[in-house]
Amino acid sequence: MTDGLTPDQHIAISERWSAHNYHPLPVVLTHGEGAWMTDLNGKRYLDFLAGYSALNFGHRHPEIVATAKAQLDRLTLTGRAFHHDQFGPFCRELAELTGTEMVLPANSGAEAVESAVKIARKWAYQIKGVPDGAAEILVAGENFHGRTTTIVSFSTDPEARNGFGPFTPGFKVVPYGDADALRAAVTENTAAVLLEPIQGEAGVVVPAKGYLADVRQICDDTNTLFVADEIQSGLARTGTTLALDHEGVHADLYTLGKALGGGIVPVSAVVGRADVIGVLRPGEHGSTFGGNPLACAVGRTVTRLLATGEYQERSRELGAYVHSRLSELEGIAEVHGRGLWASARIADGGPSGREVSEALIGHGVLCKDYHSNLRIAPPLVITREEIDLGMDALAAVLG
């Protein structure tokens, strides 16, 4: 249903009636399948963004769609006042996939991070013995964990913070990748260290080898929780189920989201140690839609798809190819990332990221800029031939 409006009319209506908290590219999409999307005029575009990793399995993956349709005919919402037949199996299967012990389902990634913050604080008071109200959480500079008022309180991005104070206390920022600074910042009141194993919005920054193992050791030495935000980096995006797997490191808590919903519904979760998540008691935390039957059914199919290892392998192999192609392009100064997740910095004197993204539309490729970088993160179902189409388009725009 398109209401008979032209693309320009759709854009004008959006500008008039919606909040201006985004600056979308000037394309109006109506369909998606696999690694492709189609606009109102029937033009097809290769998707090089994958919904910021929410579409790891592509648009309308047939197994996920079939699961959603079947569940829509059965039961969609109960609230957590009752049990339903998808909830327990979803929690068990997600815990088994991630090598963890307990699951707290939620909806958005930001909700998962907020929930992890609450769990870490309660654990600090109840188990570690931190005085009530004194718990502190260490975070990294240039982090991105969401947009709630508490989360932007510990952001270092002025755009995320300006105009939204007063800010929530209880957080201390340390430089990302600096284990010595992290160790020096830990006190007897430190409840947790909250980090992205790979910093997404900062430019898909992969820390030096050994840093994440150092974080784990610091947390072990000081009886501090290690909370890994894997909302973007997790669920096969980097070539392993979790990005921490590359370093052989395990967190006490992980926040998951985006791809967990299969591109169909918002699904997120906190997963981790049972003795940590288990500090929550009835009435202390909740979510009406968290763990609903539709979300759990979809999440179960996602975990089954990931359990085969196929998508992790695709990300490793095709990611290496994407990085090699990007590194060969004239006009690209730097490439960062891991697996099918890359940030390409445009060389000084070249077009802006926005200009490149807009020019790519004409070549049938949808990509997104941030700062002076391009984010390259296609669905994991993409083929090598489709990658070549996108890279050839990017070469033409930069050339």
Residue 69: active-site member: no
Q: What are phi and psi of 336, to 5 degrees?
A: -125, 160
Question: Three-state SS for 74?
Answer: coil
Residue 43: active-site member: no
Strands 342-346 and 332-337: antiparallel
Q: Residues 48, 57, 90, 144: which is the catalytic one?
A: 144
Strands 102-106 and 268-272: antiparallel
Peptide bond into 378 cis (omega under 30): no
d(CA 299, CA 91) in angstroms, rounded, equals: 9
Residues 6 or more apart whose Cβ sits within 8 Å of residue 43: 364
Give which of 354, 312, 345 is closest to 326, Cα–Cα.
Answer: 345
Query: Which residues pair with residue 104 across a beta bridge?
Result: 270
Q: Residues 252, 258, 289, 368: which is the catalytic one?
A: 258
119 half-sphere exposure, CB direction, 13 A CA radius:
31
Residue 229: active-site member: yes
d(CA 395, CA 384) in angstroms, rounded, equals: 16
d(CA 376, CA 326) in angstroms, rounded, equals: 9
d(CA 50, CA 32) in angstroms, rounded, equals: 11
Q: Residues 229, 245, 252, 369: which is the catalytic one?
A: 229
d(CA 207, CA 197) in angstroms, rounded, equals: 8
d(CA 149, CA 271) in angstroms, rounded, equals: 23
- Burial (CB count within 10 angstroms: exposed 0-12, middle 13-18, buried 19+), residue 70: exposed
Q: What are phi and psi of 346, to 5 degrees?
A: -75, 135
Residues 6 or more apart whose Cβ sits within 8 Å of residue 358: 25, 26
Residues belonging to the active site: 144, 229, 258
